[in-house]
Amino acid sequence: MENHNLTHEFPELEEKINDFKLNDEVFKKMYVNYEEVNALIQHYEDGEQNHTTDEHLTDLRKKRVHLKDDLYSYLKE
């Protein structure tokens, strides 16, 4: 499956991402939320947890996109 790690999504912002993870509490909370949703999606896609519906997986993917958009906006401020 495709890698949706934030530094993979925004390689040009890797240094800023790493700095914000250490020094910005607001960013850190958003980042952890994104990583949790992303990890859950990966578990479902990898077949490690197959007790979900297509609708639930779609909702999680939409949530991941919104979180990624929010993180990108925050990084670009």
- pLDDT single digits (tens) 4-44: 889 999 999 999 999 999 999 999 999 999 999 999 998 88
pTM (predicted TM-score): 0.86
Domain-embedded: residue 1 = no
Give the CA angle between residues 59, 55, 36 to the nearest 5°: 40
Domain-embedded: residue 22 = yes
Token couple for 35: 């990583």
Count the domains in the chain.
Answer: 1
Domain-embedded: residue 39 = yes
The CA distance from 63 to 24, in Å, is 22
CB 21 within 8 A of CB 14: no
Amino acid identity of residue 12, one-letter, is: E
Q: Supply the range of the domain harboring residue 18.
A: 6-76
Domain-embedded: residue 14 = yes
Domain-embedded: residue 29 = yes
